[in-house]
Amino acid sequence: MIHLKSNAPPALELHNLTVMYDSKPVLWNVDYEVPSKKLVGIVGPNGSGKTTMLKSIMGLLSPSSGYVKIFDQDLAQVRDRVAYVPQRGSVDWDFPINVFDTVLMGRFKRNRLFQRSSREDKEIAMECLKKVQMEKFVKRQISQLSGGQQQRVFIARALAQQADLYLMDEPFAGVDAATESAILDILQDMQAAGKTIIVVHHDLQTVAQYFNWLVMLNTRLIASGPVEQVFVPDILEQTYGGNMSILSQVMELVHKQAHPVRERRNR
């Protein structure tokens, strides 16, 4: 495991994070740090807990044990500095709303539930739409967008949050090559502007080219660190190879008997 020695707090720290779903461990003792200002790829086979991990970091799922620190603080204290881009397929694109109003959602603040969006909010939303080259589609209903355009709208909504840490779930899934390179440009610009971007990615072909930091995951953490150290045959074999029979058997047992993964502590 590579630990950081610099003084700046890591953008993200997971400490022994274990997440159960329906009494089955989906993430087990995942523990790593991500330095800030990196473009980070999260890579692992299907069902290896990538989405679960993002959702746990964003507080959408509560871990059975362990914790998450963002810029060395709890999520509640740094909510405004983190933005999340869910999987495109997770929402109903037939919902009656237009592109601009969708992006404007990124400007919504929990302490101004009733306030109308200010002129500044609207300007920021428009700026973000320009960054993803969707300014021509401002009034378009989201149901009339192509997959790539939908993805850009989602990214624009996250940009409108003006965060420092971005978590994106498969932003490259199901988009055409032109959109993919446009999105990559945006991510690289964001990194150059000092943001940290964590991206769930499934295409091994492009990993080395896209990212400068990697987290390899298969229920447990396989490795994390700079791409050139982590993206090597040995670690790839561990991530994708089937050599985890004992672990999966124990997981199966835990699931069947609804067994806790931590002993209850006596108070």
Partner 1 sequence: MEQLIDFLLFRDPNVRWVVLGVSMMCASSAIVGTFTFLRKRALIGDAISHAILPGICLAFLLTQQKASWILLIGAFISGWLGLQSIDTITRRTKLKADAALGIVLSTFYGFGIVLLTMIQNTGNAAQSGLDKFLFGKAAALVQEDVITFSVFSILLILIVGLFFSAFRMIIFDRDHAQTLGLPIRKLELLLSTLTVFAVAIGIQAVGVVLMAALLITPAAAARYWTHNLYLMLILATAFAVFSGILGTFVSYTFPHMPTGPWIVAVLSVVALLSIAFGRQKGVWMAMRLQRRNRTKMLLENILKCMYHLGEKQGDFNQVYSFKALQAHRFIEDQQLKKGVRMLVHKGWIESLKEGIRFKEEGLREGKRIVRIHRLWELYLTQHMNLPPDHVHEDAEAIEHIITPELERELERQLQHPTIDPHNSVIPR
Options 9, 45, 59, 147; binder of partner 1; rule CB under 8 A: 59
Options 20, 34, 43, 83; binder of partner 1; rule CB under 8 A: 83
Q: Does 108 bind partner 1 (CB under 8 A)?
A: yes
Distances (CA, A) of 116 to 52, 136, 215: 33, 24, 40
What is the three-class DSSP state of 54?
A: helix
Q: Which is nearer to partner 1, 62 or 243 (CB)?
A: 62
Beta bridge partners of 199: 41, 168
Alpha-carbon distance of 34 to 193, in angstroms, equals 17
Q: Which amino acid is at 215?
A: V
How many positions of this chain bind partner 1 (CB under 8 A)?
A: 29
Options 1, 5, 6, 92; binder of partner 1; rule CB under 8 A: 92
Please provide residue 222's backbone torsions phi and psi, each rounded to the nearest 5 degrees: -90, -50
Question: Residues for the chain: how many in total?
Answer: 267
Q: Which is nearer to partner 1, 106 or 225 (CB)?
A: 106
Tokens of 247: 């672990």
Q: Does 109 bind partner 1 (CB under 8 A)?
A: yes
Is 171 in contact with 151 (CB distance < 8 Å)?
yes
Q: Does 95 bind partner 1 (CB under 8 A)?
A: yes
Nearest-5° angle of CA 171, CA 208, CA 162?
Answer: 40
Q: What region does 108 belong to: left with phi over 0, alpha with psi -120 to 50, or beta?
A: beta
* 77 half-sphere exposure, CB direction, 13 A CA radius: 7
Q: Does 257 bind partner 1 (CB under 8 A)?
A: no
To partner 1, the closest distance from the beta carbon of 98 in angstroms equals 8
To partner 1, the closest distance from the beta carbon of 197 in angstroms equals 15
Distances (CA, A) of 173 to 111, 170, 259: 34, 5, 36
Options 16, 21, 47, 60; binder of partner 1; rule CB under 8 A: 60
DSSP of 208-252? HHH-SEEEEEESEEEEEEEHHHHSSHHHHHHHHS---HHHHHHHH
Q: Which is nearer to partner 1, 93 or 240 (CB)?
A: 93
Q: Does 110 bind partner 1 (CB under 8 A)?
A: yes
Options 58, 124, 214, 217; binder of partner 1; rule CB under 8 A: 58
Q: Does 90 bind partner 1 (CB under 8 A)?
A: yes
To partner 1, the closest distance from the beta carbon of 216 in angstroms equals 25
Q: Does 161 bind partner 1 (CB under 8 A)?
A: yes
From residue 112 to residue 131, what is the string marking binding to partner 1 with x (rule CB under 8 A)? Answer: -xx-----------------
State the residues that interact with partner 1 by CB under 8 A.
55, 58-60, 76, 79, 82-84, 86, 90-92, 95-98, 102, 105, 108-110, 113-114, 141, 143-144, 157, 161
